[in-house]
Structure 1
Amino acid sequence: MDPGKCRMCMLPGFLRYHLIETAVLALIFTDFGFQLLSLINSPALSTEDKLEYNFYPVASGQLQFRIKAPNDAHIALTTGPQEGEPMYEVFIGGWSNSKSVIRKNRTKPEVAEVDTPDILSADELRGFWIRWNDGVISVGKEGEPSAFLTYADPEPFGIGYFGVCTGWGASGEWLIEGHGPLSTRDELAYKFHNVRSGSILVEVRAKSNAHIALTSKKGDSSPMYEIMLGGWENTASVIRYDRKQPDKVRVNTPNLLNENEMKKFAICWLDGRIVVRAGGVNGPVIMEWQDPKPIGVSYVGVRTGWGATGKWILRTAQYPPCPVPNHKNANPSAPPPPSGVTDIGDFCWCEASGGIIPPGAVEGGKDDETLYVGRAYHEGALLPGKVKPGHAVCYVAWGGGEHGKTEYQVLCGCNPVWVPTSGNNIPHNAIPGGESEDGEPLYVGRVQHEDTVTIGKVQPSHSVCYIPFGGAEVAFPEYEIMVQEN
């Protein structure tokens, strides 16, 4: 293939775009049943050897997909649902599956180019991701945090749509971040979908009995949470644990659902705190319950029954629809908070993964790029650390090592300040950021080290701030600590 002689460029009048006009805020689960990067269930899409893009809206700053094709998988990134300038194009497996490039505005020379022999396959699906932030376009392989192709645009533009096509002797089968709806029948059988965030946005059209299950396994399992909306002929809603009565929560919700209109809800289950909001993330809380012994939630199931059918759209929330308690001292024998430190209220820790930075994320450091205040679970501890978008992980320090976690939480929606301190001198307004495996409260600290400002964990009983750096856990008795502004 010679993209300089691309039929798509020569014959723009022949292009026919298949558009989805309604943009979505996040990933939509579909009934295809395929798991991509453990994050999404995605619909199938076929492309023929015509070099005609199929366009879809995108709003998350990244695209994840799998493609089965012998060569020439093309992805366009555009401002709108039409051909024109400005536009980026990513060619994967071009030139007889030997090379991949990034091109801007269909002009040569390529702005980025790399040899990628046999990167595509006609016999198996292969996964890739594309991310864009501050004008930097990165292309990588599924499961690999580092990009194999990058371009920093000195004159970037906003990306609102992506398109995919194949050509030059290739047809393709794609699995992409989903855009399809989901239907459920009146059969009281859940359809389960993998989910990694601590919250979902739900839209459902049904006359009654919209049920949502939260489980640790794909399928009916024990224990499980059940949220029943519009039950009892659309008069009441409940939260039920492990299908047992009495219900943990029951409220009157007359006419909550509508068989002629999609109704929106937001559901959060972080740290065992189940919160249900009507109308989306900013809507009123209609039910809330704290499980004293939280279960892990990896799957969401939906169903309708008792005379009702339903149309559903499920989206992962870009930020949680409820605040998360900033810490809990789960172990009664663990060290208490340092003297003089008080609980200063809830902060919003937003579930994220793979380098995604939620809106309102708190900046805390610098290391060739901006670092964000994050935290992640490791060996039974919830550890403050640094989110490095370019590596697609949150780094935390533990046991003498630096550990990169692809799933993490990011501090959002507040404006903390940093103050110098040392040892176990913890200011009264320090913001708790996690806890050790023994239940000791941990705080967020940072240190200037080797031309970086690196975020880490302050462990009062050790009188130091530990930072993850260069593969190791490095301790500093003097550091800055994150506090709530008085």
Structure 2
Amino acid sequence: MANVMDVSTPDNLQYQFFPVSSGVVQFKVRTPNDAHVALTMGPQDSEPIYEIMIGGWGNTKSVIRKNKTRPDKVEIETPGIVNGGEFRGFWVRWDGGVVSAGREGESIPFISWADPEPFPVAFVGVCTGWGATGTWKIEEAEEFNTPDKLEYKFGPVAAGSLEFEYRGPHNCHVCLSPGPGEMDSMYEFILGGWENTQSVIRHCRQKPDKVTVPTPGLMNPNEFRKFLIEWRCGRLIVRDGSNGAVIMEWVDPTPFPVTHFGVRSGYGAHGSWRIRHFYSGGASLAPSAPTAAALYSPPAGYPGAAPAGYPGAAPAVAPSGGAGVWMDASSGQVVPSAVVGGQDCSGEPLYVARAQHEGAMLPGKLVTSHGCAYVPWGGQEHGKGQYQVLVGGPNNWVPVSGTNIPPGAFPGGESEDGEPLYIGRVRHEGSITTGKVQPSHGVCYIPFGGQELGFPDYEVLMA
């Protein structure tokens, strides 16, 4: 059975991303105009990026664009190519720098462009806008049916969760790993093992198992059973996908980054899978945060495109020293050329961000997969759906201890009392996390796991 995802896109031009494991994606879309497909290296709307806009300009033409720049690489007339009353099928392919799109059932693309400087594509995003909402049925080429062979089939994951359905008599096996293959660093989840009597969590292919729970009758050979696996900073949770009840849970004190999942069955079991590893900007383990309109630069030629400085365009706020500017963003969006300050324990990049809270402007971290930035204040981690991202700034970090902040440290904000705050980062539990340096306290505070944590030894960002 193919991996089919049903996706709804509102009229907001905000891409929703999912990972791909091959050079083609097939989909059906129902929309009156502007079915946009993005090809990127990561799960965010940032450069480098290919955009294939199908049925734009009032459903009259289609284009291929790279890095949101004009003129478009290719532009063709496609009147009536999409329809708001019925699904239309398409495919998008990328191979050796050639990006193309075609209609379902047709092998010849209706639009194509060869990039002389291609980049590897790992994610696909879809969105609609300019008065259009869309309903999508997205199908990846890879299938996830598993024979009785105990061999994992691997695919990439975009964020800290994997939702799937399994139909089989027993022995549903799922692994999480830092690469597309079996290796020493792996988490394994065996659901309905031992003739459908118990389930376990296994770490790095070693026994004894970290968790063992009785789960009699968990699997069924005649119907799909739904599950959800979540991971964040070493915390692993297996849930019943129907009611959210926790089946198993374990915390790894030394977590490793997870980039891929694998599925298999064995010991006499053949499995059928429906797997959802679709990225929609949130993870259930993350604190909730308000959402806001997406940051988006309308393409030239569309009605209502706002020039720089016009109300509705994202303002740039110059910092009080050094290079770089702060750009408004929201809902997990990353501005091109944003400064990467570290990485989450899952391996996801963390961007230097700041947000207002309780009268202060606080430096913190942007976690795109959570759809928000986090700032530390008052002993807690606070999620912010609206924030600013440091763009085009420095990326020179200097070790510091206590109050010994060197001259030329990059200013990041100020406390509610008006004290200047700087941008720092700390290595903690497998992550490199950015936060605020408060000189009068002699520590760097980071937002982490719902808390504000202070560290006397840290690195500070220099201008």
TM-score scaled by length of structure 1: 0.48
The answer to whether the aligner puts 1:40 opposite 2:20 as a matched pair is: yes
CA displacement 1:44-101 (0-9 Å, x = unmatched): 57xxxxxxxx852489x863469xxxxxx987459xxxxxx974642449xxxx9622
The answer to whether the aligner puts 1:63 opposite 2:20 as a matched pair is: no
Q: Distance in 2 between matches of 1:21 and 1:122?
A: 19
Instruction: Identify the residue that residue 359 of structure 2 maps to in structure 1.
Output: 420
Paired AA for residue 101 in structure 1: E
Q: Distance in 1 between matches of 2:180 and 2:27?
A: 32
Determine if contact 2:98/2:114 at 8 Å carries over to the other structure.
no
Determine if contact 2:175/2:189 at 8 Å carries over to the other structure.
yes
Cα distance change of structure 1 residues 444 and 264 upon mapping to structure 2, 3 Å threshold: closer
Q: Helix, strand or coil: the match of 1:247?
A: strand
Cα distance change of structure 1 residues 217 and 306 upon mapping to structure 2, 3 Å threshold: same
Paired AA for residue 311 in structure 1: S
Q: Distance in 2 between matches of 1:92 and 1:63?
A: 10
Q: Distance in 2 between matches of 1:458 and 1:297?
A: 35
Which has the larger displacement, 246-255 or 183-192? 246-255
- Deviation of 1:395 (Å): 3.3
Instruction: Identify the residue that residue 171 of structure 2 maps to in structure 1.
Output: 209
Cα distance change of structure 1 residues 369 and 237 upon mapping to structure 2, 3 Å threshold: farther
Determine if contact 1:204/1:263 at 8 Å carries over to the other structure.
yes
Q: Helix, strand or coil: the match of 1:229?
A: strand
- Deviation of 1:319 (Å): 5.1
Determine if contact 2:362/2:412 at 8 Å carries over to the other structure.
no
Determine if contact 2:340/2:352 at 8 Å carries over to the other structure.
no
CA displacement 1:265-295 (0-9 Å, x = unmatched): 1111111110111125x62111111111111
Determine if contact 1:189/1:303 at 8 Å carries over to the other structure.
yes
Q: Distance in 1 between matches of 2:257 and 2:177?
A: 7
Instruction: Identify the residue that residue 227 of structure 1 maps to in structure 2.
Output: 189
RMSD after superposition: 5.9
Instruction: Identify the residue that residue 277 of structure 2 maps to in structure 1.
Output: 316
Cα distance change of structure 1 residues 74 and 362 upon mapping to structure 2, 3 Å threshold: closer
Determine if contact 1:276/1:285 at 8 Å carries over to the other structure.
yes
Q: Distance in 1 between matches of 2:38 and 2:151?
A: 29
- Deviation of 1:420 (Å): 1.3
Paired AA for residue 198 in structure 1: G
Question: Any stretches of 5+ residues in structure 1 without a counterpart?
Answer: 1-19, 27-36, 46-53, 67-72, 79-84, 108-119, 130-138, 146-151, 163-175, 325-346, 350-359, 372-384, 400-404, 425-430, 450-454
Instruction: Identify the residue that residue 284 of structure 1 maps to in structure 2.
Output: 245
Paired AA for residue 158 in structure 1: T
Instruction: Identify the residue that residue 293 of structure 1 maps to in structure 2.
Output: 254
Instruction: Identify the residue that residue 126 of structure 1 maps to in structure 2.
Output: 98
Which has the larger displacement, 220-229 or 315-324? 315-324
Cα distance change of structure 1 residues 310 and 301 upon mapping to structure 2, 3 Å threshold: same
Determine if contact 2:167/2:222 at 8 Å carries over to the other structure.
yes
Cα distance change of structure 1 residues 219 and 447 upon mapping to structure 2, 3 Å threshold: closer
Cα distance change of structure 1 residues 236 and 126 upon mapping to structure 2, 3 Å threshold: same
Cα distance change of structure 1 residues 390 and 265 upon mapping to structure 2, 3 Å threshold: closer
Determine if contact 1:443/1:458 at 8 Å carries over to the other structure.
no
Select which of 425, 433, 440 maps to 2:374: 433
Determine if contact 2:55/2:79 at 8 Å carries over to the other structure.
no
Higher relative contact order (CA 8 A, sep 6+): 2
Q: Distance in 1 between matches of 2:158 and 2:241?
A: 22
Q: Helix, strand or coil: the match of 2:233?
A: helix
Instruction: Identify the residue that residue 159 of structure 1 maps to in structure 2.
Output: 134
Instruction: Identify the residue that residue 361 of structure 1 maps to in structure 2.
Output: 291
Q: Distance in 2 between matches of 1:43 and 1:262?
A: 29
Q: What are the within-5 Å matches in structure 2 for residues 62-141 of structure 1?
A: 63-64=37-38, 76=54, 87=59, 89-92=61-64, 100-101=74-75, 105-106=79-80, 124-127=96-99
Paired AA for residue 6 in structure 2: V
Instruction: Identify the residue that residue 464 of structure 1 maps to in structure 2.
Output: 420
Q: Distance in 2 between matches of 1:88 and 1:274?
A: 48
- Deviation of 1:225 (Å): 0.6
Q: Distance in 1 between matches of 2:389 and 2:334?
A: 20
The answer to whether the aligner puts 1:302 opposite 2:267 as a matched pair is: no
Select which of 235, 241, 250 maps to 2:212: 250
Instruction: Identify the residue that residue 328 of structure 1 maps to in structure 2.
Output: none
Q: Distance in 1 between matches of 2:261 and 2:190?
A: 13
Q: Distance in 1 between matches of 2:93 and 2:196?
A: 51
Cα distance change of structure 1 residues 76 and 408 upon mapping to structure 2, 3 Å threshold: same
Q: Distance in 2 between matches of 1:410 and 1:323?
A: 21
Q: Distance in 1 between matches of 2:412 and 2:39?
A: 33
Determine if contact 1:89/1:102 at 8 Å carries over to the other structure.
yes
Q: What are the within-5 Å matches in structure 2 for residues 297-446 of structure 1?
A: 297-317=258-278, 318=280, 322-324=284-286, 347-348=287-288, 361=291, 369=313, 386=329, 395-396=338-339, 407=349, 418-421=357-360, 433=374
Cα distance change of structure 1 residues 199 and 103 upon mapping to structure 2, 3 Å threshold: farther
- Deviation of 1:124 (Å): 3.6
Q: Distance in 2 between matches of 1:242 and 1:407?
A: 24
Q: Helix, strand or coil: the match of 1:277?
A: strand
Paired AA for residue 135 in structure 2: G
Q: Distance in 2 between matches of 1:223 and 1:122?
A: 31
Instruction: Identify the residue that residue 108 of structure 2 maps to in structure 1.
Output: none
Instruction: Identify the residue that residue 116 of structure 1 maps to in structure 2.
Output: none
Cα distance change of structure 1 residues 217 and 387 upon mapping to structure 2, 3 Å threshold: same
Q: Distance in 2 between matches of 1:423 and 1:160?
A: 38
Q: Distance in 1 between matches of 2:23 and 2:295?
A: 39
Instruction: Identify the residue that residue 24 of structure 1 maps to in structure 2.
Output: 6
Question: Any stretches of 5+ residues in structure 2 without a counterpart?
Answer: 9-16, 41-50, 66-71, 82-91, 102-112, 122-127, 297-308, 316-327, 364-371, 391-410, 425-434, 440-446, 451-463
- Deviation of 1:312 (Å): 1.7
Q: Percent identity?
A: 28
The answer to whether the aligner puts 1:193 opposite 2:155 as a matched pair is: yes
Cα distance change of structure 1 residues 261 and 243 upon mapping to structure 2, 3 Å threshold: same
- Deviation of 1:248 (Å): 1.3
TM-score scaled by length of structure 2: 0.50
